[in-house]
Amino acid sequence: MRIGITCYPTYGGSGVVATELGLELAERGHEVHFVSYAQPFRLDRFRERVYFHEVEMDPYPLFEHPPYSVALAAAIHDVAVHHELDLIHVHYAIPHATSAWMAREMLLPGRTPKVVTTLHGTDITLTGKHPSLYSITRFSIQKSDGITAVSRFLRDETEKSFGVNGGRIRVIPNFIDTQRYRRDGKPCHRATLAPGGEKILMHISNFRPVKRVDDVVRVFARVRDEGEARLVMVGDGPERPRAQALADSLGVAEDVIFLGKHTPVEELLSCADLFLLPSESESFGLAALEAMACGTPVVATAVGGLPEVVEDGETGFLHALGDVDAMARSACRLLGDDGLWTRFSEAGQRSARARFSAERIVSVYESFYQEVLEGKGGGNS
Ligand code: GMT
C-alpha cells in the first residue's frame, strides 16, 4: 500500500505512535509518506520506502493566524496525487481529520484515497469539545472512512460526546518496540542519577496541567520521608516551574532532578524503580506502557484508559485522582518489598510484550486498512 501519515511531529505520544507505525509499515514493504509541519523527531535517519513532506507556510503579515489546516490539506492533496496514495492515516483529529477530508474532497472521484482517523485523547476529551471546534471535529470524524481509538475508554467517550456510533470505532491500542523497551537495555544511568544507591522514582510527560506534576512531587515527598529516594522528572512544559517551586517548599528539591526533554526515554526508564503517572485524564498512557516494558512498576490514577494498560495489583497500583497518600503508600510498599517489586516488574514486561508489541498491533492496523480499502471500515457517513 501507499500510505500517507499526518501527525504532530514533536514530543506527544500520538506523534510517537504515528511515526513508529509508519516505520514499521515501511519495514513490512509499504510506501509511507509523512506529511507535517516538521520532521517527526523519531525519523532520525534514512529508511527505505519512507518519505517526509514538509507543509510549507507563507509568513504573510496578514496572517495573524496562519491557515495551517488549509496548507496541510493542500500538502496532503499534492502527496496523494503525485504518489497515488491508497490511504491517508491521520493521528489526532484536530485539525488533521478536517485537512484530510478537504484533501479527499479535492481529488477526482475514483482516485480518492481512504481516510483513517486515529483518536488519541484530548482531541475528544478536551479541545474537540470546545464549542469553537465541536461541530467540525464531529463532522470530520464522521466523514472518515475508518476511525480508531487507542482505548475502549476513548471509544466510549467519542460515542457519548460526539454521537459517533461506537460500532464504527475500532479500538486499536498503542504499541511499543519490544526490542528497544526492555529492562536489560544498555546503558544504565543509575549511578549518575542516584549515586548513593537511592531508589529512583520517575515521571515523564509534557508537564501540562492534565498530568498533575504537583501530585508527582507530593507523592515523592512522602516516599522520601520513609527512605532514601530520588525523583527524576523527564520532559518539559508549563507546569515545570510550579513543580520546582513545590519541591523547594516541601524541602525535597535536592533530591529532584529536572532533566528536561530527553530521548531516548528507554535508557532512563530501564534504570528506574517506579514510574508515577497521577494524571487527571489519560486516554491510554503510553509512558506507563513504556515503563512496564522496561520493567518499571507503575503507580498511577485509575482514570481514562489507564486501567486498560496497567493491571491494578499486578503490574502497578491505581488510585483515585488526587489521592497522593494512597499513591505514596503503594510506592513505599513496592519499593520496600523486593519480592513484590520483582513480581510486578516481570509481570509488566510480560504484559507489554503479550498485549502491546509492535508485531501484534501493526498487523491489526494492516488488517484494518485492508477492511477500509474494501469499504468495510464502517465509515464515511
Ligand atoms: O491528547 C493529548 O493530550 C495529546 C496526546 C499526545 O499527542 O501525546 O496524548 C494522548 O495520546 C497518547 C497517545 O495515544 C496517549 O498515550 C495519552 O494518554 C493521550 N493523552 C491524554 O489523554 C491526556
Between CA 303 and CA 314 the distance in angstroms is 17
Count of residues making up the chain? 381
Between CA 284 and CA 13 the distance in angstroms is 10
With a 6 A CB cut-off, is 143 part of the ligand 1 pocket?
no
Query: In a mutational test of the pocket of ligand 1, which residue from 6, 7, 14 has the highest number of ligand atoms less than 8 Å from its CB?
Result: 14
Task: Give the C-alpha distances (Å, rounded to integers) separating 69 from 34, 56, 256, 347.
Answer: 15, 11, 40, 43
| DSSP-H helix ranges across 91-195 | 93-106, 122-125, 131-143, 152-162, 190-193
**Closest ligand 1 atom to the C-alpha of 125?**
22
With a 6 A CB cut-off, is 17 part of the ligand 1 pocket?
yes
The answer to whether residue 333 scores a pLDDT higher than 70 is yes
**Closest ligand 1 atom to the C-alpha of 289?**
16
The answer to whether residue 107 scores a pLDDT higher than 70 is yes
Helices vs. strands in the chain: H and E counts, helices first = 15, 13
Q: How far apart are the first and last CA of the chain?
A: 24
**Which residue, judged by its Cα, is nearest atom 11 of ligand 1?**
120
- Strand 199-204 versus strand 229-234 pairing type: parallel
Burial class (CB in 10 A: 0-12, 13-18, 19+), 291: buried
| pLDDT, tens digit, 9 for 90 and up, residues 334-375 | 999 999 999 999 999 999 999 999 999 999 999 999 999 999
Cell of 153: 475508554
**Per residue in 54-72, is it b (16+ CB within 10 Å) or e — as a string?**
ebeeeeeeeeeeeeebebb
CB 139 within 8 A of CB 371: no
| pLDDT, tens digit, 9 for 90 and up, residues 221-252 | 999 999 999 999 999 999 999 999 999 999 99
| pLDDT, tens digit, 9 for 90 and up, residues 23-67 | 999 999 999 999 999 998 778 788 999 999 999 988 888 988 889
Cell 490514577 sits at which residue?
A: 301
Residue 381: pLDDT band (50, 70, 90) is very low
With a 6 A CB cut-off, is 120 part of the ligand 1 pocket?
yes
**Closest ligand 1 atom to the C-alpha of 206?**
8
With a 6 A CB cut-off, is 356 part of the ligand 1 pocket?
no
Rounded average pLDDT over 71-88: 97
* Backbone φ/ψ region at 322: left (φ over 0), alpha (ψ -120 to 50), beta: left
